[in-house]
Chain A
């Protein structure tokens, strides 16, 4: 079975300081992992993805994530937070098997607050 756990429901940072949003996963085989971002009153947008290529993945808006198999983690980072980064972030793992493809397993979400 696959699952994903976001370790913080709420993270608050000051503008210009680093961002760390933590995600651990559980998977019985090699997973594909994603981070999605949801700005207020908007749909979700793909931020970045890991699909068994390079373990350090770069996404949009300066975000990146590192796949660490030994730690079963896929933490999202950004060196310097911007006010526009305030949003909800979802860590996602795919669960694909015959007859049930395309299904994504979402974490509980982490709300990122950026203070001026």
Chain B
């Protein structure tokens, strides 16, 4: 089954404790992206990747890192989480950036992160 898998789905952590949210897709997609969803703000892009070893900042990259060493994985790293990073995070993938432009994005089920 084609899917985007995120882990963990729920996490409560404390300020400053490094954490990683994993994202894996099994569709051989080139394009992957991370979003955060906050009430009243919709989804905002954090980072995206056009292919392996090609990542770039989105609209709200501060406090986050990503890597793309393999095509299927695109982890989101919070080196020193702060309470303002409490949010619902979505990973998405698409065949290519052009496919993403036509709305063909596949989303994971989300990871709800709480930073105390």
Contact = CB atoms under 8 A, between A and B. Distances in A.
Interface residues of B, number: 31
A42 B110 CA distance: 7
Interface stretch (A13-21, A65-73, A75-83, A106-114): A106-114
B24 interface: no
A32 B40 contact: no
A56 B28 CA distance: 32
Interface in B89-116: 90, 92, 94, 96-98, 100-110
A43 B102 contact: no
Contacts of B101: 32, 94, 96, 101-102
B51 to A, nearest CB: 11
B43 A102 contact: no
B48 interface: yes
Given A32-B101, A51-B102, A92-B103, A9 B40 contact: yes
Nearest to B40: A108
Nearest to B94: A102
A101 B44 CA distance: 15
A42 B107 CA distance: 9
Interface of B: 4, 31, 33, 35, 40-45, 48, 50, 56, 58, 90, 92, 94, 96-98, 100-110
- 6 tightest A-B CB contacts, nearest first: A43-B107, A102-B100, A102-B97, A106-B42, A101-B97, A34-B103
Given A41-B109, A108-B42, 5 more contacts: A42-B109, A43-B90, A43-B92, A43-B107, A103-B45
